[in-house]
Amino acid sequence: MNRISDTNLLILKKPDGETYVFHYANDSRHDALRTLGRFASNQELSFSWYDAAVLSTRIRDEAKAREAAE
């Protein structure tokens, strides 16, 4: 069973009004990063490679901070 501290939530609100919500467990961080890439490569979404880069940096920074705290 996952504890609340084992999950993460990222929210991106785009200027065009779209909102992207990513909810992932600590142990599925790599899947979350791959999802960002899939979204960025989808031309039908307003999610850009810049968005993916910003959010992937947040995911990695959170993982580093969590590891440092343990």
Residue pLDDT, tens place only, 4-61:
578 999 999 999 999 999 999 999 999 999 999 999 999 999 999 999 999 999 999 9
Q: Can you give the pLDDT at residue 70?
A: 78
Q: Can you give the pLDDT at residue 3?
A: 54
Q: Can you give the pLDDT at residue 1?
A: 47
H-only helix segments in 6-46:
29-41
Q: Can you give the pLDDT at residue 28?
A: 94
Residues 46 and 7 sit within 8 Å (Cβ to Cβ): no
Tell me which amino acid residue 42 is: N
Q: Can you give the pLDDT at residue 2?
A: 47
Q: What is the pTM of this model?
A: 0.85
